[in-house]
Amino acid sequence: MVDLPRRLVLALPLVLTLLVATPAHAAADSVTKTDVTVELRADGVLHIKEQISFTGQVRRTLLTRTRYDDGNDRVYRVTGFKGDGALTGDTITLTGKDTATIEYDVAGAVSPVGGGEELRWYVVNGWSAPVQSAVVKLSGPAPIQNLSCFAGDLTSATGCTTASMDETGTRAEFEQQGLGPAQALTVAVGFPSGTSRGRPILERRFELASAFTLSPLTGGALIGLLVLLLGGIVVLYWTRGRDARILDSEAGGPVTTLRDGRFSPPDGVRPGQIGTLIDEQADVIDVTATIVDLAVRGFVRIDEQPRGTYDAPDWLLVKVPDAPVEELLDYERALHMAIFDGRDSVLLSQLHGSFGARLGKVRDALYRDVVAQGWFVRRPDSVRTRWTTIGVIVTGLGVLATVLLAWLTTYGLIGLALIIAGAALAVGGQYMPAKTSRGASALAHTLGFRDYLASGEIGEVPPAQRIELFSRYLPYAVVFDNVDRWARVVASMNGNGGQADHLYWYQGPAEWDLSKFADSMRTFTLTTSGAISASRQFRRSI
């Protein structure tokens, strides 16, 4: 108890310091008074001069953008800043001590209203600290017709402390006491029409809904562009992508498959060529059919491997020695080399992914071949690629145009026409390769041959020639997706009056006979196509 007075004496200076420091700190950041002079000049620009008394560190954020209507913002451009402060963006930082004087110009604060002009400006606004007192003096190049002022939040309708006009009507004065941080003193002053010829500065506000506004203008323009662009694509296909017309006499007529007792497909077309001719693509099934064709013609032998109950089927492809490989077409020779690659035999299962690069050469050779045959003027893959690339470019330009139109205007719908047309051209590019008259004629004969194979009729073929002849048909049946039916036809044949247990080009395992050939061939074509598809570098061109 003896030490209590002493402790109180020691604590007293600290308490006094806190009592003094607290209100001083609270009042540190404030604007005690701001005197603002506003002059409306003849070009519609406000010249503003502010004399500010303040304490602490204060800054002001000028209001430079407000909502004008549903589609536009009103912009106030501040230029020519000078004085005791720095303007960074729209923020003023005062550099003076206790007092500061700044000047700047504001454009865009005047609007034509009715039969006159209205100057509306947020004269005091955006201060980071309270404003104790604000006085605004405003003048213009013509007599003032009316005036009003508002204080508080930006949307406040509460009048300011005082608003008055001198006897001459050319000067107005406004006062406001006690504005909180970020609150505003807004003045609205009317002048005669033509006083400054000022106009609001508007910037379109981006809104997704308004960017794609459907109106008679945008709807009509969209439909018109679609008709023009899509119609142009149709005309382009009609003139460039449509197969050359052929005479009915060329397309029709009976199919002759035997000449001088030997097999002869229409126009001498080989299976791989037929596949490329029909769908204008050098794809997997064309290569599979060519492998079967090479076997039937004596360049390859296919040996089905014995397998257990749960083993996957496999075949050994054997290179026939002394076969005249030099007589093969370029794509056939490329395929023969891709299969064997310096070896005499290879299991089909070993081809998975191992010869993709060489198969690319097969595809290139097939495309060159159909051009060399005179069926196409240009390689179908290059034609597709060219038109598809153009379509992608047009689509990209459409996307860019749509973004720009949507951002800058309300006509975003118009850009969609380019996107739709570009997408249609990219898709339609798949149908742009066009056959020549010779190619169209060969296709017509080939389709007749397909109908003949689909019928599965043996016809007047001597029994001794049936296995060889109908084996020659089989690769074409692979291309026409008719391998099941025609393999059964081959399996029903006899070689020389007795039941055959194998073909000259297809060998089965022990206890295998020709009756099982249909199932074996169906499985072989599916497995071969799978092995080719697994070759990563062999892809159908787009």
pLDDT digits (tens, 9 = 90+) for 217-243: 777 777 877 777 777 767 766 665 556
% pLDDT > 70, the chain:
80
| Token pair listed for 248 | 């009915």
Question: At a CB cut-off of 8 Å and minimum separation 6, what does 51 contact?
Answer: 34, 35, 99, 100, 101
Average pLDDT over residues 479-508: 70
Angle at 366 between CA 360 and CA 368, to 5 degrees: 105
Q: State the pLDDT at residue 249.
A: 42
CB 399 within 8 A of CB 205: no
pLDDT-derived band of residue 539, with 50, 70 and 90 as boundaries? very low
- Lowest average pLDDT, out of 37-51, 115-129, 280-294, 427-441, goes to 427-441
Please give the mean pLDDT across all residues of the chain. 81
Q: State the pLDDT at residue 445.
A: 80
Average pLDDT over residues 258-285: 74
pLDDT digits (tens, 9 = 90+) for 429-442: 887 888 888 888 88
Coil, strand or helix at 257: coil
Q: Which residue has the higher pLDDT, 313 or 311?
A: 313
| Token pair listed for 264 | 């002869």
pLDDT digits (tens, 9 = 90+) for 396-407: 998 998 888 887
Q: State the pLDDT at residue 241.
A: 52
% pLDDT > 90, the chain:
33
Q: What is the Cα–Cα distance from 44 to 108, expressed in whole angstroms? A: 7
Q: Which residue has the higher pLDDT, 350 or 15?
A: 350
CB 245 within 8 A of CB 439: no
Is residue 194 pLDDT above 80, yes or no? yes
Buried b (16+ CB within 10 A) or exposed e, 457-493: eeeebeeeebbbbbbbbbbbbbbbebbeebbbbbbeb
Taken in order 266, 269, 274, 277, the sign of the CA dihedral is negative
pLDDT digits (tens, 9 = 90+) for 25-80: 445 789 999 999 999 998 899 999 999 999 988 999 999 999 888 778 899 999 99
Q: State the pLDDT at residue 527.
A: 87
Q: What is the Cα–Cα distance from 533 to 96, expressed in whole angstroms? A: 79
Average pLDDT over residues 312-332: 91
Is residue 191 pLDDT above 80, yes or no? yes
Q: State the pLDDT at residue 201.
A: 92
Q: Which residue has the higher pLDDT, 248 or 237?
A: 237
Q: What is the Cα–Cα distance from 288 to 300, expressed in whole angstroms? A: 13
Coil, strand or helix at 455: helix
Q: Which residue has the higher pLDDT, 540 or 534?
A: 534
Coil, strand or helix at 227: helix
| Token pair listed for 167 | 């006897």
Q: What is the Cα–Cα distance from 460 to 219, expressed in whole angstroms? A: 66
Coil, strand or helix at 247: coil
| Token pair listed for 325 | 């490989």
Q: State the pLDDT at residue 224.
A: 78
Please name which of 132, 119, 140, 121 lies closest in space to residue 161, comparing C-alpha atoms.
Answer: 132
Is residue 24 pLDDT above 50, yes or no? no
Please name which of 490, 436, 453 lies closest in space to residue 468, comparing C-alpha atoms.
Answer: 490
Q: State the pLDDT at residue 470.
A: 75
Q: State the pLDDT at residue 459.
A: 60
Q: Which residue has the higher pLDDT, 259 or 354?
A: 354
CB 350 within 8 A of CB 381: no
Q: State the pLDDT at residue 55.
A: 92
Q: State the pLDDT at residue 95.
A: 86
Q: State the pLDDT at residue 100.
A: 94
Question: At a CB cut-off of 8 Å and minimum separation 6, what does 263 contact?
Answer: 257, 468, 469, 472, 473
Coil, strand or helix at 102: strand
- Lowest average pLDDT, out of 89-103, 123-137, 366-380, 512-526, goes to 512-526
Q: State the pLDDT at residue 363.
A: 87
- Cα–Cα distances (Å) from 368 to 329, 372, 378, in that order, read 11, 6, 9
Q: State the pLDDT at residue 240.
A: 58
Q: State the pLDDT at residue 131.
A: 94
- Lowest average pLDDT, out of 111-120, 129-138, 154-163, 479-488, goes to 479-488
Place of tokens 């008055």: 164
Q: State the pLDDT at residue 532.
A: 77
Q: Which residue has the higher pLDDT, 95 or 213?
A: 95
Q: State the pLDDT at residue 357.
A: 67
Q: State the pLDDT at residue 497.
A: 42
pLDDT digits (tens, 9 = 90+) for 330-368: 999 999 998 888 889 999 888 876 666 677 888 889 999
Please name which of 102, 157, 161 lies closest in space to residue 127, comparing C-alpha atoms.
Answer: 102
Average pLDDT over residues 469-486: 81
Place of tokens 């893959």: 381
CB 299 within 8 A of CB 344: no
Q: State the pLDDT at residue 354.
A: 60
pLDDT digits (tens, 9 = 90+) for 72-98: 889 999 999 999 999 999 999 998 788
